[in-house]
Amino acid sequence: MRTQRIYSKNADYQKFEVLKTNRNKRYKYYEFFVEGVRNINEAINNGWTIQAFIYSYEKQLSRWATDILKNNPAEMHYELTDALMADLSSKTDTSELLAVLKMQEDSPQKIKLSENPVIALFDRPSNKGNLGTIIRSCDALGIEGLVITGHAVDLYDPDTIAATMGSFFKVPVCRMADNQSIQAWISSLKERYPALKVIGSTAHAECSIDQIDLTTPVLFLIGNETDGLSNMLCEISDVMGTIPMASDSSASSFNVACAASIMFYEAARQRNLK
């Protein structure tokens, strides 16, 4: 471990800034920026590789931060002035500890499945808050992994990570850019789990989600916020599920993160009853 002090917005500091704001640079360095006590704790608890810690040398650190620095190896410790820390932190009360982490392999093989899994796929998510909330719901309701398809918001964007409230580091998530990879992955799931149900989601009046047996292996397909599921994913679906709404409701649909959470809960509910 090496320690380096930073007194100005030099090249190292500018790298921290681009990891926060520039998607292309994140993937160039294969690193991303993390802020928040819960996020840093969960990253450590779930075995993510920490490349660097960032903190101020002008103030005394808390017992928590001191223990983190002492007990968790990182290649670099960067000591900044209070003013630089305040500029780098996104919080009103400046975070005392920031971290730079290494990205993980982007492969569905990282999703370790049980004998009777519930998995989810989010088709071309366009909102960082929705993606983060769905990852959080996956963690809360026992979804074993999430796949993101197509051109989507960045999984490693700080806003996405913040919205997960730490669940980002627990739930295996991978990206698949092309339809061929998606079809091959779903085919492999069906070979492994012959009883797998592929359940597409729709706002239109199709089969009510509570009328579908979700106690067998399940793959939920969640559509894009504006366009819904792609035609290819609709065709792959065994059934299109919908969430019943009040007959006099003025709402035409649920927010996608709310809808996904309701479907995940229904699967957990049925399995708990069984």
Of 76, 102, 128, the residue at which a domain comes to its end is: 102
- Interhelix angle 63-71/37-45, rounded to 10 degrees, is 30
Q: What is the pLDDT of residue 274?
A: 76
* CATH number of the domain residue 189 falls in: 3.40.1280.10
Q: What angle do CA 205, 208, 214 make, to 5 degrees?
A: 145
Amino acid 254: pLDDT: 83
Residue 18 shares a structural domain with residue 84: yes
Task: Output the pLDDT for position 244.
Answer: 86
Residues 250 and 184 in one domain: yes
CA distances for 55 relative to 51, 69, 76, 101, angstroms: 14, 10, 11, 15
Kindly state whether residues 88 and 214 are assigned to the same domain.
no
What's the pLDDT score for residue 245? 83
First to last CA, the chain: 51
Q: Are residues 157 and 195 in the same domain?
A: yes
* CATH number of the domain that residue 6 is part of: 3.30.1330.30
Residues 26 and 130 in one domain: no
| Average pLDDT per 10 consecutive residues for the chain, totaling 274 residues | 94 97 97 96 97 96 96 94 96 95 92 96 96 98 96 95 96 93 96 97 84 97 92 94 83 87 97 89
- Beta strands 239-242; 197-201: pairing state: parallel
Q: Which of 102, 135, 162 represents a domain boundary (last residue)?
A: 102
**Same domain for 96 and 211?**
no
pTM above 0.85, yes or no: yes
50, 149, 152, 225, 232 from 178: Cα distances, Å: 30, 7, 12, 19, 11
One domain for residues 24 and 123: no
Say if residues 42 and 166 touch (Cβ distance below 8 Å): yes
Instruction: Indicate whether 78 and 142 sit together in one domain.
Output: no
Q: Distances in Å between the alpha carbon of 269 and those of 201, 215, 219, 265?
A: 18, 9, 16, 6
- φ, ψ at 79 (rounded to 5°): -105, 120
- 222 and 190 in a single domain? The answer is yes
Instruction: State residue 73's pLDDT score.
Output: 87
User: Position 154: which residue type?
Assistant: D
Q: Are residues 138 and 44 in the same domain?
A: no
The verdict on 144 and 76 lying in the same domain is: no
Helix-strand-coil split of the chain, %, nearest 5: 40, 20, 40
Same domain flag for 176 and 114? yes
Give the count of domains, the chain.
2
In this prediction, residue 173 carries a pLDDT of: 97
Range of the domain at 190: 108-273
